Amino acid sequence: MKARPPARLGPARRVTLAGAFGFARLIVELGVLSSFAFSLALFVAAIAQAYVTIRAAFTRLGEPDTTKSLIVAAVEQADTLLIGMALLIISFGLQALFVGRLQNVPPWLHIDSFDDLKQKLIGIVILALGVNFFSVALKWTGGDILAYGLAIAAVILAVGAYSVILTRQGGRSAAPPGEPPA
């Protein structure tokens, strides 16, 4: 019996693989667009809420709770804007990693690897947690807030430790061959 030569990928098979990769790229692009749409919606919602809150505050100037309600609303708006910014960074990052780098974005928003994207998001998550705690603390009327603060602190420490591990792993892989890692 004659041995069969190994099967080769014909043109039809290559087109199928290219089509699958093209479809995956389309799915990522849809994820980029949906993340961008959510980001835009959060920015518009924060702006609209700021308008409504400030307009209502002008009708209550001089009342005892007006200043505190403005401070709470401002902190909550900052939280909304931070989440919107995180979604915008996810959108730009996925675009850069899977589709193609966008032009005219600030240098701090250039994302070269998945680790870059994770590091940028970790910073925003930690900041958003801090802002969230501040917002809750301003409205807190119950007893001890320590348990809530410790829970937020535990999450921030865990995320911070993960960030340090990511940085150290990135340093090892970035070292040239034959040189010790940074």
Please indicate, yes or no, whether the overall pTM of this predicted structure exceeds 0.75: no
Give the residue, 13 or 112, on which the prediction is more confident: 112
**Count of CA atoms in the C-beta half-sphere (13 A) of 163:** 17
- Give residue 126's pLDDT: 85
Residue 178 has a pLDDT of 47
Structure tokens at 143: 């007893």
Of all residues in the chain, the percent with pLDDT exceeding 90 is: 20
Taking CB atoms within 8 Å and a gap of at least 24, the contacts of 114-119 are: 115/166, 115/169, 115/170, 117/89, 117/90, 117/93, 118/166, 119/163, 119/166, 119/167
pLDDT per residue over 136-155, tens digit each? 888 788 777 888 888 888 98
Cβ-based neighbours of 74, under 8 Å, separated by 6 or more:
none
Task: Say whether pLDDT at 69 is over 70.
Answer: yes
Question: Does residue 5 carry a pLDDT above 90?
Answer: no
pLDDT category of residue 2 using cuts at 50, 70 and 90: low
Band of pLDDT at residue 108, cut at 50, 70 and 90: confident
Return d(Cα 84, Cα 32) in angstroms, integer.
Answer: 13
**Residues 6 or more apart whose Cβ sits within 8 Å of residue 126:** 156, 159, 160
